A and B are shown apart, each in its own frame.
Chain A
Amino acid sequence: MRRLRVDTDHQPRPGFGPEPGSLRTVFGPQVVARVWTLAVIVCIAMGVLVFRLWFLQVLSSDEFQARADSNQQRVVPIEARRGLITDRHGQELVGNRASLAVGVYPAKLPKGKRGREIKATLRRVLRLRLGFIEDKINASATDRYGWVRLKSSVDKQTIFFLREQQLPGIEVRDEYERSYPERTAGAQLMGRVGEITKEQLALPAYANRDRYQAGDKIGQAGLESRYDDFVKGVNGASTASVDAIGRPVPGAAVQLTQAIPGDTLRTTLDAGLERAAQRSLERGIRDVASVSPQPLPADVGAVVALDPRTGAVLAMASSPSYDPAHFDRNYNRILPKQARLGEPSFDPNFPTPARNYADEEVFQPGSTFKPFSAIAALQAGVLTPDTAWPDQKLVNGRYCADPTNKATCRQNFEGEVSSGVPLVQAITQSVDTYFYEVGDKLFQKSGIGAIPRWAGVFGYGKPTGIDLGGEAAGAVDTAETWKDKQLAFIRKFNPALLAPGNEQGLRDATDWFSGFSLQQAIGQTTVQVTVLQQATAYAALANGGTLHKPYLADARLDGSGRVVQDLRPPPADSVRLPVDRANLDAVRAGLLGAAQIGTSAAVFGPTYPIQVAGKTGTAEIPRKVPGAAEPVNIENSWYCGYAPADNPQLTVCSFVRNGGEGAKTSAPVVKRVFDAYFGIVNGRRTARTAEVLGGPGAGPAGVSTP
């Protein structure tokens, strides 16, 4: 019930509120007092505000000045142009072209629906996955307020579209993009340029913030990475006053620090030869099916061409290759799962363009290893160049370490029977039985270590030290290293064998059998080499016994083309090998014979305008083949040679996995490289041939003609 009151009854307490009877109560002192109270409140309120303003604007002015400055200054890096990578004649292998990159300021990107629309637009026009954009934004190496590159080398059409849209938070920046005029040739050598990752930024190597900052592009592989320190250059910066959405304030001064472009890397490569090597290798791989059909397709291969006088790499090709211009973005993503380096799904046998098969992968060298077994035996004194074994333990043309035990018998390659020939002819004909004998004799005399020791002298079993990352060491095993290797393998793939009770099985798997020494002499089973090691060792044979460290970088040139740094390995890196001249000459004679009248005579032979010396190799490896119950022997094709034989200027090694016989696949690959180098067209000399042969830098003195 509403309380009602007659107003005459209303009797407020005196002193509080107006008294209805009094005129003074409404407009008297009380009203004035109340107004005065309000006036005091006004004064207090204004006083508080003024005091606070005084504190902020006068007492704390410096602090806010700094805060305001950091708000309005924006440092935009000016990307330094990367140095060129050229071949030995100065021809461009890797260049630069101007490009436009689209990036985003995550902090400026609107949230909610508008933000999603913008991302959807970017996804559509830049053809990126939404997840990729989100990852870039959320996990960028730059801080939240920096610019994050979403896509490099965006086409003009897209840029126009984006500029027209004026999407908030999106900015287009000028930058340089690498260009690769040689396309697939030598792609793995040049490597790759990519944005520095968060992890890399944390490494001490990239700790110098004047040189490496988030968002920088650095060499991520190959020569780009190896010589990044001078190829990269030093980024400049423009410090500009910008508004809240990052636009430069018109008319405001811009502080400019010019970028210093990177220096040029001149390599030892010969662009023409590199191209020829790559093309020749691809063709060799393609031809396998017709010339030497294999149970598995020929998939990977490599060619290395060295100057045997210096160790300079003239060409290094690996297949499969790729065109870096189309391949260097989302590098791993477009590869099949098995080919993604560094991921659990990676299958080392799966062919991947990301790998340089010339120096990052090891293979059994097969017969191309024979010269080194021969030298080991010659140096150990178990044979002389004239030694023949007419009384060889041959049973039906097969070499048997123990004639009473058929299991120890080994067939000559292709079943050929050649017994009683001396060493030179054994190399020429690649007589396996002769080298089984060599292996056996060496084992009898010096134990297991002789071949590995002499192989080590020629550079096997350790990286050559070429100026590329990721080089494999390979191995020529002794009993110990074999055991270690097998144990490591068992631990990883068959730990059951380590359990008690399996002692016999474990021994079978890890013990060194006498047969291994025989196999080793012909470069199988316990010999693992890279194509580069093979080329380096052959270069040592070619030049008369000096092992040069192979190298790719010749010199660092400044912007005007002056050499500012010699990058060739110092002379101390070249080792004069302790091999008797006579022994070396015997092996070289065998190699010359092999190319002239022996295993590769069909490819070279006496009609080839340049005298070539070289050795075929066909490494047989048991491999499980889909569809076959038993492992099938696949054949890896090798050829290593040098020319001219009397004064070698070029050593070339070729390898094709599953390539069949060395003579049928790899020898033609090498021949085509020689053709290109010596200017041989249709089997005839040209003007270039004379030029090359008569040119400066004649071969090392004292190399006798075998």
Chain B
Amino acid sequence: MIINRRPPATVRLGLSTRPRRVAELGIASWARHADWVMLAAVAGLLVYGLDVLRTITVAPQDAPKYDKQVLFALVGVPLMLAASIVDPERYRRAKTWLFGGLVASLLAVIAIGTSVNGSQRWISLPGLLLQPSEFGKVVIVLAAAAFLADRVQRTGDASLTLGALAYAAVPGALVFLQPDLGTALVFGASAIGVLWLFGTRWTHFAALGAGLVALLVVVLVVAPAAGHPVLKGYQKDRLTVFLDPSSLKREAAVADSRGDSVAADQARRGLYQYEQALTAVGHGGLRGQGVGEDASQVTGQFLPEHYTDFFFASVAEQRGFLGCAVLLGLFALLLWRALMAATIASTQFQSLVAGGIAVTLLWQVFLNVGMNVGIMPITGVPLPLLSYGGSSLWTTLISVGILEAIVIRGRLAGPEARTRELTSVRS
């Protein structure tokens, strides 16, 4: 006896809360209700990022990267504005398509993807490399939020927690195979963020935490000891390098003695990245070395991946502690407004989405900056809005657009809309 498997039609179709289209309201209304603070923070980050990128792509082969990133931004900002117009409830209904599309594209990456630096993460399109896993960062939030919001009556049920986690776990596993541990971790964070805002029982979080600890113990300790390591030595050591930098040196020596030059190389690369990032950040000092030759670690290209994974270290060397503080301040502003959006959302789904996006952003910023300053594992997580790359930029801008849409609709509907939704759910 299946009762209430599907939400009521009103909810499913989003009729009860559907505000008038913004287009109907006109640009003036959009402008009146939009969160300008959030937009200002995003604009600040975008401009800041492009300004840094312009000065760090000094090598001739890197020069087109700035122009491309400007182009990506010129495409991304309209995408953001478009997303701010689209009714977020549409995503709720399109959950299956979105999620299915994500899984399909990740499978496509495995089948026909392009490899860079030993990771197969990209689908090659004419003119650009598309990284589907980046879009996963917003799709998973939408899908998990839709899944939970559709089952609000069963709040607290363990199957919901497991279900929401599955939305992260399936693409997470596909991404992990690429291998891209960092993005898999972000997927997990997205699901957990949505779950947190949904009001999942603390016992579930406790169990989840225990499970994660157990998984870490198995992966890092038990499996290698048993002779079936899940991660290669250098992969493991990249995760723990911030705890013990010499472990990579040892790993390289061990790999050399085995004659495994690939592993030794990876280990050395990891250590080199760790050390160079710290050097660049430390070299920045309080006020930074400026955008010229004095920022020798960046302009001299000692800093690897200085416009992608280690973008933050580039900022740190050029602009120093003060520049970093401004950057982190802009992120804090964006996160604050995202969390605000969660409280003024007109529906629970939208509230979950806003919270999920906020947590996803926070986790990315923390992973990336943490990696740059040597307190987090070395994973390929970009710095949102700043690292070079179209997929990441568009994903973040679309997320911001969704946040704007949620804010605009929340403000338009007013506080009573939230009551109305619950009533309709109850009826």
Contacts and interface: CB of A to CB of B under 8 A. Distances in A.
B157 A4 contact: no
Interface string A1-44: 01111111010110011101001011100111011011101110
A112 B265 CA distance: 9
A10 B285 contact: no
A244 B197 contact: no
Contacts of A252: 293
Interface in B191-223: 193, 196-197, 199-203
B359 interface: yes
B202 A38 contact: no
Contacts of B316: 53, 56-57
Contacts of B339: 35, 38-39, 42
Interface in A228-266: 241-245, 249, 251-252
B351 interface: yes
B375 A52 contact: yes
B116 interface: no
B302 A54 contact: no
B29 to A, nearest CB: 23
A389 to B, nearest CB: 80
A243 B301 contact: yes
Contact of A71 (B279, B325, B343): B279
B186 to A, nearest CB: 14
Nearest to A38: B339
A67 interface: yes
B373 interface: yes
Contacts of A692: none
Contact of B418 (A18, A27, A38, A245): A27
A575 interface: no
B370 A17 contact: no
A207 interface: no
Interface residues of B, number: 72
Given A10-B157, A18-B155, A68-B279, A244 B358 contact: no
Contacts of B276: 71
Contacts of B300: 71-72, 241-244, 249
A48 B373 CA distance: 11
A245 B366 CA distance: 31
B4 A35 contact: no
B380 interface: no
A57 B281 contact: yes
Nearest to B421: A26
Most B-side CB within 10 Å, residue of A13, A242, A244, A245: A244
Given A53-B373, A56-B373, A244-B300, A7 B282 contact: no
A61 interface: yes
A460 B44 CA distance: 93
Given A32-B343, A56-B281, A20 B366 contact: no
Contacts of A245: 301
Contact of A50 (B159, B328, B374, B423): B328
A164 to B, nearest CB: 16
Nearest to A64: B282
B201 A12 contact: yes
B57 interface: no
A67 B279 contact: yes
A353 to B, nearest CB: 41
B320 interface: yes
A45 interface: yes
B419 interface: yes
A251 B294 CA distance: 12
B422 A23 contact: yes
Given A17-B155, A111-B261, A245-B301, A6 B4 contact: yes
A681 interface: no
B156 A42 contact: no
A63 interface: yes
Nearest to B335: A42
A61 to B, nearest CB: 5
B302 A243 contact: yes
Interface in A55-80: 56-58, 60-61, 63-65, 67-69, 71-72
B22 interface: no
A17 B283 CA distance: 48
A-side interface mostly: helix
B297 interface: yes
Given A27-B351, A58-B286, A17 B201 contact: yes
A69 B302 CA distance: 11
B348 interface: yes
Contacts of B299: 243, 249
Contacts of B348: 26-27
A140 B233 CA distance: 29
A251 B196 CA distance: 55
B153 interface: yes
Contacts of B366: 45, 49
A387 B392 CA distance: 113
A72 B317 CA distance: 14
B155 A56 contact: no
A30 B348 CA distance: 13
A65 B154 CA distance: 58
B324 interface: yes
A498 interface: no
B372 to A, nearest CB: 9
Most B-side CB within 10 Å, residue of A3, A7, A30, A111: A7
A244 B152 CA distance: 56
Interface string B298-325: 0111100000000000001000110011
Contacts of B153: 7-8, 10, 20
Contact of A10 (B155, B201, B415): B155
B2 to A, nearest CB: 6
Nearest to A37: B196
A10 B331 CA distance: 40
A67 B282 contact: yes
A246 to B, nearest CB: 10
A335 interface: no
B278 interface: yes
B200 A17 contact: yes
Given A17-B156, A34-B196, A241-B300, A53 B321 contact: yes
B178 interface: no
A46 interface: yes
A4 B1 CA distance: 8
Interface in B254-269: 261-262, 265
A25 B301 CA distance: 54
B296 A71 contact: yes
A31 B362 contact: no
A112 B260 CA distance: 11
B342 interface: yes
A5 B4 CA distance: 9
B369 interface: yes
B293 A4 contact: no
Contacts of B418: 23, 26-27
Interface of B: 1-4, 59, 152-157, 159, 193, 196-197, 199-203, 261-262, 265, 276, 278-286, 293, 296-297, 299-302, 316, 320-321, 324-325, 328, 331-332, 335-336, 339, 342-343, 348, 351, 355, 358-359, 362, 365-366, 369-370, 373-375, 415, 418-419, 422-423, 426
Given A35-B342, A243-B302, A252-B293, 18 more contacts: A2-B159, A5-B157, A10-B155, A18-B155, A20-B426, A23-B419, A27-B418, A30-B199, A31-B351, A34-B355, A38-B197, A53-B316, A56-B278, A56-B316, A57-B284, A61-B282, A63-B282, A244-B300
21 contacts: A4-B3, A10-B155, A13-B156, A16-B201, A31-B351, A35-B342, A35-B355, A38-B355, A39-B336, A42-B332, A42-B339, A42-B362, A46-B331, A53-B281, A53-B325, A57-B284, A68-B282, A243-B59, A243-B301, A245-B301, A249-B300
Interface of A: 2-8, 10, 12-13, 16-18, 20, 23, 25-27, 30-32, 34-35, 37-39, 41-43, 45-46, 48-50, 52-54, 56-58, 60-61, 63-65, 67-69, 71-72, 111-112, 241-245, 249, 251-252
